[in-house]
Amino acid sequence: MMLSLLDTVERAIAAGEFEGAEADAEAGLAEAPDDLVLRGKLAQCLTKQLRFAEAISHWRYILDAPQAGLSDHVPATFGLAICAAQSGQPEWVRPYIDRLDLRFSSHPSDWCWRPRILTAAGFAEEAEAELRSLLSDRPGDPFIEQALGSAMLQRGDPEGHRLALAFSSRAFYRIYYPETPLIERMWQGEPLEGRSVTIVRHGGFGDLFQFIRHVPRLRQLGAGSITVVATTRCHGLLQSVGVDDLVSLDEMEAARSRSDCWVGTFGLARAGGESASGYLRAPPSAQAEAILQQARSRAAGRPCIGLYWYSDMDLGEAKSIPLAAIAPLLARSDIHWVILQRGFGLRRLHAAEIGLDATVTVVDLPFDDAGALIAGLDGVASICAWPFHLAGALGVRTWLIAGRVLDGRHMNRERDSVVYPACATLMRQPTVGDWPGAIALLMGELDALTRPRGPAALPVPEPC
């Protein structure tokens, strides 16, 4: 019975139904309070809901339980690291990280757990040092290489790009994704003259919108036909970069089989080229136009800014912003907000009954339509998720609301964006966990945007 309950809780978490998962997990723990796996699921539900203080108590319970084994310690330490960083107290997790020793394992992916947890807590320098030590013990291992590359990028070291590409290598796939068809056809930067290429989505939609910029570069390198495998909900956007064919996900293996080579989303970076903005174009959308007309009417001349603050994707809790922290934004009367939020974040907004003046978009708006909507806005403020990357790819004014513990793609920058240099600005936490500080930076940007621009001041005459 408990196994069936655990399956129910896991399915609810995967579907973003955290409230129901929490209720089921609590009911199960009332009958079996020593079930550490179920308690871990409850802690995960609370973490996903950004209820960090409650989650921390459960993560610590697991870590301090005498019966807890390594399979309990690793996810609990990782979960605690995220909660501690989000709470502005990363040192809370240090004693538990120091207890982890996974070098006895024969799997390099296990060895990397300690530095990965250090990175999540914001101890990037220490994580990099540990990964360098691991790589010296096992030179050439693709998992350690990609982990080290990511840590280097998080510290702003561009040399990390080369190592991070190990994630998109045949060696990595043979070990960690051995069931992947046609691994030998995976593109690793070989000459493309006349060869057909299939691009397979790997990662989130934000990653796809970011890395699809390299398609024109593939063409410059001599690629023949270029096919992209992706959901039909964004085919119009992807068509605008000049691909030859777009196929749905159920056609992926057929497309991969008939191409000379294939590449995952992140492997597109091997094509090189400069960072850019405005390389995507959204197709016309009657639905987006209707939302824009509604928003402009309600705005009555105020700037219309898109807003997105919460991600229920894997590890989205590490970058999502508690609703209380964005309340000052929603209280502004000089901005009309267009809520791009979906899922749990939108449910929390409705429950809190704030931002009632805002325009809320259609919950299941396809990305093609969302792109047309974003293209018509005056700007977008978002965490590092699909709205940020779609806005940047469209060349729309964009503010990234970012944590101090920042994804390596942003190269440890404070304000300027290396991903979308022409249109994006980082609003980064001054210290770990300081979301009010990041929001204050954005408030200043919005003040400048809405400040009345009167006639230039006349020169003051000199006294006689």
Contact 355, 337 (CB under 8 A): yes
Residue 68: is its pLDDT beyond 90? yes
- Mean per-residue pLDDT for 200-212? 95
- Mean per-residue pLDDT for 298-325? 97
- Give the list of residues 6+ apart from residue 272 with CB closer than 8 angstroms, or none: 214, 217
| Band of pLDDT at residue 458, cut at 50, 70 and 90 | very low
Host H or E run for residue 303: none
Dist. CA 55–CA 119, nearest whole Å: 20
Dist. CA 464–CA 147, nearest whole Å: 71
Share of the chain above pLDDT 90, in %: 92
For position 362, what pLDDT does the model report?
80
The pTM assigned to this predicted structure is 0.94
- Mean per-residue pLDDT for 287-309? 97
- Give the list of residues 6+ apart from residue 149 with CB closer than 8 angstroms, or none: 160, 161, 162, 163, 164, 165, 166, 408
Summarised one tens digit per residue, pLDDT across range 240-292 is 999 999 999 999 999 999 999 999 999 999 999 887 889 999 999 999 999 99
CA 209 centroid distance within chain: 12
- Sign of the dihedral through C-alpha 38, 39, 45, 47: negative
Summarised one tens digit per residue, pLDDT across range 386-421 is 999 999 999 999 999 999 999 999 999 999 999 999
Residue 343, phi-psi category: left (phi > 0), alpha (psi -120 to 50), beta (remainder):
left
| Band of pLDDT at residue 2, cut at 50, 70 and 90 | low
For position 460, what pLDDT does the model report?
44
Residue 429, phi-psi category: left (phi > 0), alpha (psi -120 to 50), beta (remainder):
beta
Dist. CA 357–CA 420, nearest whole Å: 30
Q: Name the nearest CA neighbour of 129 among 141, 139, 118.
A: 118
For position 328, what pLDDT does the model report?
97
Summarised one tens digit per residue, pLDDT across range 153-194 is 999 999 999 999 999 999 999 999 999 999 999 999 999 999
- Give the list of residues 6+ apart from residue 250 with CB closer than 8 angstroms, or none: none
Three-state SS annotation for 158-179: CCHHHHHHHHHCHHHHHHHCCC
Residue 462: is its pLDDT beyond 50? no
Looking at residue 437, the DSSP 8-state letter turns out to be: H
Residue 105: is its pLDDT beyond 90? no
Residue 156, phi-psi category: left (phi > 0), alpha (psi -120 to 50), beta (remainder):
left
For position 137, what pLDDT does the model report?
92
| Band of pLDDT at residue 363, cut at 50, 70 and 90 | confident
Looking at residue 302, the DSSP 8-state letter turns out to be: S
For position 3, what pLDDT does the model report?
63
CB-CB neighbours of 162 under 10 Å? 12
Question: CA torsion 171→172→175→179, rounded to 10°?
Answer: -100
**Helix ranges restricted to H, 395-434:** none
Residue 1: is its pLDDT beyond 50? no
Dist. CA 98–CA 382, nearest whole Å: 34
Backbone angles phi and psi of 425, in degrees to 5: -135, 140
Contact 345, 358 (CB under 8 A): no
Task: List the structure tokens of 315.
Answer: 């590890």
> Distances from the Cα of 246 to the Cαs of 187, 206, 236, in angstroms?
19, 18, 9
Tell me the average pLDDT of the chain: 94
For position 452, what pLDDT does the model report?
74
| Edge-to-edge strands, sheet with 398-402 | 359-360, 336-339, 304-308, 379-382, 398-402, 424-428
For position 463, what pLDDT does the model report?
42
Tokens 């590359």 belong to which residue? Answer: 149
Q: Name the nearest CA neighbour of 171 among 203, 138, 195.
A: 138
- Mean per-residue pLDDT for 44-49? 98
Q: Is 200 helix (H, G, I), strand (E, B) or coil?
A: strand
Share of the chain above pLDDT 70, in %: 97
Looking at residue 429, the DSSP 8-state letter turns out to be: -
Question: CA torsion 237→243→245→249, rounded to 10°?
Answer: -60
